[in-house]
Structure 1
Amino acid sequence: MASLPIFMTAVANSSDEPAFPLLFTWSTPEAQVKEVLVIPDDEWLENHNIEPNALDLDENQLYEFGFEASDILAEWTNEFDTDVIYGLDPDELSALVEATYETKGLDPSFEVLSIHSWFEERDVSLTDALAEQGQTTPLHLLPPDEIIIQLLQIAVEYGLIEVADIAQPDDE
C-alpha cells in the first residue's frame, strides 16, 4: 500500500515576516490530524517577536504547552515515511520547517510542495472542490486543524485516498 500524503500547515510568529513556527498541524499516515505548539528557540526570540495571530498564541502558552524542536523532529522522523510534504503556502511552510531543523544544525528530511499541485496532478481543482463543498471561507483563513480536515475530506470524496486504506485501531 502506498503511504497517504502528509498535509501540513503552520502558524508563524508573524504574518508579515514569518521567521519561526508557533504551531504545526499535519495529517498522519493514518489520516488523523496532529497539532503541536513549538517552544521558541532562544535565537529566534533574539531577532524576532511573536506578533498577534489568529489563534491568539503567546510566548507563555508556547512554553507551558509546547514542545522543543528536537521532540518535534523526532516525531516527524518516526512518523513520516516520505520525502515530500504538501502545504497550502509551500514557501512559508518550508521556511518554518527549515527554522525548526536549523535549531539542531540539520537540513529538512523532506521537501514541501504545493497542496494545489498535489490535487492538480490527480485532475482535481482544489478551489473547485472547496466550492462544491459549499466552503465560502478561503482555506488559509480556517483554523489549521480544519484546513487539514478539509484537505483529507476532499481527497476521500474524490477517491484520491481510500478510507479502507486508513488504518483502524483494530488493525494495529
Structure 2
Amino acid sequence: MTSVANSSDNPAFPLLFTWSTPEAQIKEVLVIPDDEWLEDHVIEPNTLDIDETQLYEFGFEASDILAEWTNEFDTDVIYALHPEETSLLIEATYDTKNLDPSFEVHSIHSWFAERDINLDDALIDSGQSTPLHLLPPDEIIALLLQIAVEHGLIHSSDIPETFEE
C-alpha cells in the first residue's frame, strides 16, 4: 500500500491510498477529509497536486473505504513502502468511525527480505533508476508487483494484462 498525506512535514490524515488486491488488481482512492481533520490541519501542496476540491469531487468517505478494505484485506498484515506514515494515515481513517485497524502495517522491504530478495537490488537489476518514493503511487504498486513476478513470488497470470510488460 502507498499513501499520500495532507503534509510531508506533519502528516495527519490521508489524501489518497493506493493498494493491490490479492488478485494483483491495483486500486486507488481519494479520501474526503473528515471535518475534524481540517480543524487542526491543512492540505499542503503535494507532488500529485491533490487539492481539497478534488477530494470532495472525486473522493470517498472513510466508511466506504473501510468497507472496501474489510472485503479485500483478509490478513493481519499489509505491506507499505513507508509503513510508519501509512499506519498513521490508516489509523486516522479508522478513527473517524471510532475503530481500530484490523491489520498491522509492515515494510514492503521486509516482505521481500523474508523471501530472500533485497528489494533495492531487485529494483536496480530491473533497470529502475528513479527512486520509488518519486514515482506516482499506482506505478509504485505496479513496479512492486512486477518485481514479485520476476522473482517468482507471484505468478504473472495473477496480474491484470494492463500492468504486464
Q: Pairwise mapping of residues 1-172 of structure 1 onto structure 2 (< 5 A)?
A: 8-164=1-157
| AA in 2 matched with 1:154 | I
Counterpart Cα distance in 2 of 1:158 and 1:49: 41
After superposition, the CA RMSD in angstroms is 1.3
- Displacement of 1:167 in angstroms is 8.7
Counterpart Cα distance in 1 of 2:11 and 2:43: 10
Counterpart Cα distance in 1 of 2:33 and 2:150: 38
Q: Secondary structure at the match of 1:52?
A: coil
Counterpart Cα distance in 2 of 1:32 and 1:9: 14
Counterpart Cα distance in 2 of 1:146 and 1:165: 17
- Displacement of 1:132 in angstroms is 0.7
| AA in 2 matched with 1:40 | P
Q: Deviations over 1:113-159 (max 9, x none)?
A: 00000000100010001001111111011000000000000001000
- Displacement of 1:163 in angstroms is 2.6
TM-score by length of 1: 0.91
Counterpart Cα distance in 1 of 2:124 and 2:77: 27
**CA 1:165/1:54 → structure 2, altered by over 3 Å: closer, same or farther?**
closer
| Percentage of pairs with the same residue | 80
Counterpart Cα distance in 2 of 1:41 and 1:164: 39
Aligned length: 161
Q: Secondary structure at the match of 1:161?
A: coil
Unaligned runs of 5+ in 1: 1-7
Q: Secondary structure at the match of 1:22?
A: strand
Residues 18 and 28, structure 2, Cα contact 8 Å, conserved in 1: yes
| AA in 2 matched with 1:31 | A
Unaligned runs of 5+ in 2: none
Counterpart Cα distance in 1 of 2:126 and 2:158: 23
| AA in 2 matched with 1:20 | F
Bigger shift: residues 37-46 or 130-139 = 130-139
